[in-house]
Amino acid sequence: MELIARIKKAVKQYDDTHNFTCDICGREVFANERICAPCEKLLPFNNALVCPYCGRRVKEEGACIECKASPLGVKKARSVFVHEGEAARLVVRFKRGEKYLYRTIIDTMVPLFDAEFSFVQGIVAVPMTEKAEKKRGYNQARLLAEELSARTGVLFLDALRKEKETPSQKFLSRRDREKNLEGCFRADRALVKGKKLLIIDDTLTTGATISAVAAALKRAKAGELYALTVTSVENKTPFGIPEE
Ligand SMILES: [Zn+2]
Ligand SMILES: [Zn+2]
């Protein structure tokens, strides 16, 4: 089955916790749906032209400007959606307290995982500082990574720590964001050494966070690295893009 068709089918599988309303518009839905048909049509699947490295939508075939200037540090990153419209709203709501949305979001990620990353030996999540996680009550990336692990049988490795808070990343290029993030992350060598790993995050903006996490994993002697996010920002310009 074609990938997008599989993603659409996945969001139609429900469990007992389903509340029979659409996770996007709140309208009543059939028992086997989480997203209603009209909303599904509005979702911006990232299935057109993408940069082969960071997976962001591009206008012309080939690597995006930022991957040309500074490699991402993972072999390949992919996202289910472009960070716009209903997909962006879904991710923002998920990050701002609507924790239950992880189920719907992970439904859309499993088919992409199966198609692109089923060979990895472990799943890791972009960490938050302890303080930031306490404030929000959960780490959205970790929630997705753990659920992806449960669905696919690939081990979740609690191997990453974020040790200091970073200043706002808004309006910064990948390079400047990378400078901000230098030395923020630490990986547990005993858990990651020699393993092919998939890094999970909610949104890939410039890729600086993924890049900094990849650098920490490499310092801990991890093997090949890959990344999967729910959304990624279209590569138009390094400035004026939303915060990661
Ligand atoms: Zn709807
Ligand atoms: Zn790129």
- Ligand that lies nearest to the alpha carbon of residue 104, given by its number in the listed order: 1
- Asked if 37 and 62 touch (Cβ cutoff 8 Å), the reply is no
Q: What is the pLDDT of residue 6?
A: 77
Of residues 114, 52, 110, 48, the one with CA closest to residue 78: 52
Q: What is the pLDDT of residue 116?
A: 97
Q: What is the pLDDT of residue 11?
A: 66
Spatial separation of the C-alpha atoms in residues 202 and 83, rounded to whole Å? 10
Spatial separation of the C-alpha atoms in residues 46 and 37, rounded to whole Å? 18
* Distance in Å, CA 220 to ligand 1 centroid: 44
Phi, psi of 28 (to 5 degrees): -65, 140
- Ligand that lies nearest to the alpha carbon of residue 37, given by its number in the listed order: 1
* Distance in Å, CA 230 to ligand 2 centroid: 16
pLDDT, one tens digit for every residue, the chain (244 residues): 688 887 777 766 555 555 688 999 999 887 778 899 899 999 999 999 999 999 999 998 999 988 998 889 999 999 999 999 999 999 999 999 999 999 999 999 999 999 999 999 999 999 999 999 999 999 999 999 999 999 999 999 999 999 988 877 777 778 888 888 888 999 999 999 999 999 999 999 989 999 999 999 999 999 999 999 999 999 765 444 444 4
The reported pTM is 0.89
| Protein residues with C-beta less than 5 angstroms from the ion ligand 2 | 51, 53-54, 64, 67
- Ligand that lies nearest to the alpha carbon of residue 30, given by its number in the listed order: 1
CATH code reported for the domain at 43-232: 3.40.50.2020
Spatial separation of the C-alpha atoms in residues 215 and 52, rounded to whole Å? 20
* Distance in Å, CA 35 to ligand 1 centroid: 5
* Distance in Å, CA 40 to ligand 1 centroid: 7
Q: What is the pLDDT of residue 70?
A: 87
